[in-house]
Structure 1
Amino acid sequence: MNPIRRTFVLALTLAMSAALASGLAATTQQADPPYKDLKLGFVPGPYEDTFRKGVAPILERQGYRVKYVSFSSGLEANNAVFTGDIDANIMQHSVFLEAYNQRQKTDLAGIVHVPTPPMGLYSRTYKAAADVKSGARVAVPNDPVNLERALKILRDLGWIELKPAANPIDVTELDVTSNSKRVKITPLESAQAPRALEDVELAAVQGNFAIYSGLKLTDALALEKMTLPYVNVVAVKKKNADAPWARDIAAAYKSREFQKTIRDDRFYDGFRLPDYFD
C-alpha cells in the first residue's frame, strides 16, 4: 500500500476509535444517576437520627450527598425551605405546616409522613395521673396548634372540657369551658417545656423535645391519642413536591429497608408509625 495512503487510513482509524470511545463514555455518563447535594433541616429531636439511620444510606447509594442543617425553631426551618436555603425539613405535622402557610403566605407541602413520637404529659412531682392534686400547674405550648394537642390530653384525662370543633389554628385557653381539676394552665415556648418541669408540677411536652431532653415516652403520665394530621411530614416547596429528589426521599421512607430499620429498633417503641408501614 502506498505509504501516504497507509498513513491516511491509520489516521482515519484512530479518529474513528476516539470518536467511538468518546460516544461510549458520554452514553455511560448519561446513564449514571444524577448527582445532587440535598440540604435538609431539622430541629432538636429524633428526626435527624432517624433520617441518618434509615433513609440516608438509601439515598447515598443512589448518588446523593446529604447535608444536615440544624435550627432552633420550626419557624426558622420553614423559612429556610421557602427561601431555598435548604431543600426540605423534617420536624412538623400537617396542621402546623398549614398554619405556617396561612400566616406567612407561603406554599410548603408535605410529601411523606415519618415516624413521630406523641406529645406527653410529664411530671417530676407525680408518678401517675390519678395522683395529681387539684390546682396543679401545667405548662403547655404557647403556639395555638400544639396548645390544642396539650388541652386535648387534659380533656381526655377528664380534667377540663373544650369548645367543640375549635379551630386548631386559633385555639387559646379561652376555649376551655370547664376546669373541674382547677389546673393552672401556663403557656410557654415548646422547647422550654422539659426544663419547666423544675418549676411546675406538670408539662405537656412535644415528643421530639421530650426525647431530646432525655424523657422517655413510657414515663409520661398520659400520651396524646395521635391522629394522622399530627404525624410529622417531610416538607418542601410545592413546586418541588414532584421533583425526582423529592420522590426519592419519599420512596426511601416507604421502603422495606427503612421499615425494617425502625421496627428492629426498640427506641421507636411508642412512636406513631405512618400508615404505609406494613
Structure 2
Amino acid sequence: MKKWKKVTLAVSACVLVLSLAACGKKEEGAKKETASETKEIVVGVAPGPYGDMVTDVIGPLLKEKGYTVTTKLFNDYVQPNKALAAKQIDANLFQHTAYLEKFSADNELELTAVGQVPTLGMGIYSKDLKQLSDLPDGGKVSIANDASNLARTLQLLQANELITINADIDETKATVNDIAENAKNLDFKPLDAAQLARSLDNVDIALVPGNFSWAAELKPADALALEKLQEKYKNVVALRTEDKDSDLGKAFAEVLTSDEFKAAIAKSEFKDFDQPESWK
C-alpha cells in the first residue's frame, strides 16, 4: 500500500511539473505574440503644431491598433517627403494636399494622402485691438513678402472686407499691386513670414501663417480672424502609395475619420483649428 502511495505521489509530482512547464511556455508564447503584434513606426514632421498632434492625439489612437509611434523632426519642407519615399520613415504629417501633389509630381515620387487633419490657417493678430472694426484709418499691417503667403494674406484681408482684389486676376497669385480698393488706406509692411509675429509691437495688425503663429505661442482663439482654408490647403497624413491599402494605411484612415479622433481634438489645444469639411 505504501509502495502504491509513493508511486501515486511521484506521478502527481511529474504531472504538476509538466503542467507548470507547459503553462510557462504558453505565457512566454503569449508575451512573444503580444510583442510581435506591436509595430514601431516613425512619422516625419516639420516645426509647428503637427508633431504635437501626432504625439498627443494620433499616436495614442494608433497604439490601440498595435502601433507604437515616434516622430522625426525635419527643418524643411523637402526632406520629409524624400525620406518617406526612401523608406526612412513610415508616414509624414506637415503638408497640405496641394503641396503634396505638386511636390510628388515634380520629384517623381509615389506618395499618397490617407486622411486629413484639423489645420491651423493664417490668422489676423493684434497686440492692442480687440476687433477688426477698431482698425484705424491708415493702420499699419504687416504681411508676408513671399508669393504664396502674400496671396493668402490678401485673400484673408478681402474676406474680412478690408480690401478688394482686382476681379480679373488669379487670387492665388495676387500682390499688393492687384489691390483695387483699400478703403482704410492701410499701410502694408512686407516682412519675412518668420518675422511677422515679432512685428506685433510695431503694427496694428499682423497676418501670421499658422506654423509661425504656433511657434510664437499666439493662440488661434485670440485671433481677430482666421483663414477659412480650402480643402486642398488642409494638412494630410501621407504614406507611400504602395502602402495606402496596407494594414498601416487602413489604421491611419480609420483613426483620422473616427469619432475618437474628433473627440480628442475637441478637448485638445488643436480645437480651434480649421476642421476637414467631412467633419461638419
- Asked if Structure 1 and Structure 2 have the same fold, meaning a TM-score greater than 0.5 normalized by the shorter chain, the answer is yes
Q: How does 1:82-101 map to 2 (within 5 A)?
A: 82-101=85-104
Alpha-carbon shift at residue 68 of structure 1 (Å): 0.8
Contact 1:33 1:63 survives alignment (8 Å) = no
Structure with max Cα Rg:
2
Aligned pairs (5 A) from 1:183-202? 183-202=186-205
**TM-score, length of structure 2 as denominator length:** 0.74
Moved more, 98-107 or 62-71: 98-107
Match of 2:183 in 1: 180
| 2:225 alignment partner in structure 1 | 222
**Alignment partner for residue 162 of structure 1, among 156, 160, 165?**
165
Query: Mean alpha-carbon deviation: is it higher for 117-126 or for 157-166?
Result: 157-166
Q: CA deviation at 1:169?
A: 6.0
TM-score (norm 1): 0.74
Indicate the residue corresponding to 1:233 in structure 2. Answer: 236
- Kept in 1: contact 2:196–2:206 (CA 8 A): yes
Aligned residue for 1:132?
135
* Corresponding residue for residue 212 of structure 2: 209
Check whether the contact 1:96–1:145 (CA below 8 A) recurs between aligned residues.
no
Residue matched to 1:249 = 252
Query: Are the counterparts in 2 of residues 95 and 145 from structure 1 also a CA contact under 8 Å?
Result: no
Whether contact under 8 Å (1:33, 1:62) holds in the other structure is no
Q: CA deviation at 1:266?
A: 5.6
Q: Runs of at least 4 residues of structure 1 off by over 6 A? A: 28-33
Q: Which residue of 2 aligns with 1:115?
A: 118
CA RMSD across the alignment: 3.4
The CA deviation string for residues 70-95 of structure 1, in whole angstroms up to 9 with x for no partner, is 23333343343344432322122223
Q: Deviations over 1:37-75 (max 9, x none)?
A: 322122233322222222212322333232211233333
C-alpha deviation, 1:210, in angstroms:
2.0
Aligned letter for 2:279?
F
Once residues 120 and 75 of structure 2 are traced to their aligned partners in structure 1, the CA distance between those partners, rounded to angstroms, is 18
**Mapped partners of 2:210, 2:171: distance in 1:** 18
Q: C-alpha displacement at 1:112, in angstroms? A: 0.4
Shift of 1:114: 0.4
Q: What residue in structure 2 maps to residue 48 of structure 1?
A: 51
Rate the CA distance shift 1:145–1:275 in 2: closer, same or farther, 3 A. same
The runs of 5 or more residues in structure 2 that have no matched partner are: 1-27
167 and 121 in structure 1: CA distance in 2 versus 1, 3 angstrom threshold: same
Equivalent-residue separation in structure 2 for 1:222 and 1:260 (angstroms): 24
- State the 1:168 CA deviation: 6.4
Q: What amino acid is aligned across from residue 230 of structure 1 in structure 2?
A: Y
- Contact 2:46 2:75 (8 Å CA) reproduced: yes
Given that 1:145 and 1:168 are in contact with CA atoms closer than 8 Å, whether structure 2 keeps it comes out as: no
Percentage of pairs with the same residue: 32
